[in-house]
Amino acid sequence: MANDDIILRVERYDPERGPRPYAQSYRVPVRKGMMVLDALNYVRDELDSSLAFRWSCRMGICGSCGMMVNGMPKLTCQDPVDRYRVRAIRIAALDHFPVIRDLVSDISDFMEKLPNIQPWITRTEEKPLSAGEYLQTPEERALYANHAACINCMLCYAACPVYGLDERFLGPAAIALAHRYNLDSRDQGEALRAPYLSLSHSVWECTFVGECSEVCPKHVMPAESIQREKLRLALRWLLPRAAFRRRP
């Protein structure tokens, strides 16, 4: 093998071929600045057009090119090939999700759960249009700005051991999005989200391993969001009862 070549060992799956995945290797010439996604595009364009995988923006924004690279969840458009020059690169679909074909994961489970936490600004009281916008101070926006950076890439789900053991778990990204809107000064939907977040397979299922935050390409820190939602839910339950006991 030439010094500027690298081997991609891709875990492939074709439901028409059989029920089990199989490995296939490809030799790819490396160029300066090449990302893992570039190497996969070389394979599909030059070597094997049947290889299936997702990507869109190639800028770390759309989140669609998430895959397992040498056993770790990665955004392949942001993962330099040079990092792996000492060995071959193993690429597989994201862990914990059904595989549609090759490197394409089925994230329907996440999409079905997401609406339950109402990831949008919810108002119980609307002011008239003549009153103008719902303004925020820079300090109010800063409270949730980091949490709003989530791109739904599903790397946190692939890294989460709880989701790997129990697919009923709501999961890190969904809970982090609920936390983002609960922190938004324009939102009044926390009481509507609380019953779903309080379920046994929601925030209380998290064991705070922290792997979701480790792999997040946008540094959203979903593990922190989950622990903060645990505290908010506990206070929602505790404070009314404490106030009742203080009555004469």
CATH number (domain holding residue 115): 1.10.1060.10
**Are both 229 and 112 inside the same structural domain?**
yes
**Are both 26 and 147 inside the same structural domain?**
no
The helix (H) or strand (E) run that includes residue 173 is: helix 172-182
pLDDT in tens, 115-157: 999 999 999 999 898 999 999 999 999 999 999 999 999 999 9
**Are both 121 and 228 inside the same structural domain?**
yes
Q: What is the pTM of this model?
A: 0.91
Domain tally, the chain: 2
* Spatial CA neighbour of 91 closest among 149, 42, 39: 39
Written as one string, the DSSP assignment of 61-102 is: SS-TTEEEETTEEEEGGG-BGGGGTTSPEEEEPPTTS-EEET
User: 45-58 in b/e burial notation, b at 16+ Cβ within 10 A?
Assistant: eeeeeebbbbbeeb
**Are both 223 and 242 inside the same structural domain?**
yes
Alpha-carbon gap, residue 178 to 174, rounded angstroms:
6
Last residue of a domain, one of 105, 129, 147: 105
Q: Which structural domain range is residue 239 located in?
A: 108-246
**Are both 45 and 141 inside the same structural domain?**
no
Last residue of a domain, one of 90, 105, 120: 105
**Are both 78 and 148 inside the same structural domain?**
no
Tens-level pLDDT at each residue, the chain (248 residues): 456 899 999 999 999 888 899 999 999 999 999 999 999 999 999 999 999 999 999 999 999 999 999 999 999 999 999 988 667 899 999 999 999 999 999 999 999 999 999 999 999 999 898 999 999 999 999 999 999 999 999 999 999 999 999 999 999 999 999 999 999 999 999 999 999 999 999 999 999 999 999 999 999 999 999 999 999 999 887 767 666 555 55
**Are both 10 and 44 inside the same structural domain?**
yes
pLDDT in tens, 174-199: 999 999 999 999 999 999 999 999 99
Residues 6+ apart with CB under 8 A from 109: 97, 167
Do you know the residue count of the chain?
A: 248
**Are both 48 and 131 inside the same structural domain?**
no
Alpha-carbon gap, residue 20 to 128, rounded angstroms:
59
**Are both 19 and 137 inside the same structural domain?**
no
**Are both 11 and 50 inside the same structural domain?**
yes
Last residue of a domain, one of 38, 71, 105: 105
Residues 6+ apart with CB under 8 A from 3: none
Nearest 5°: phi and psi at 60? 70, 30
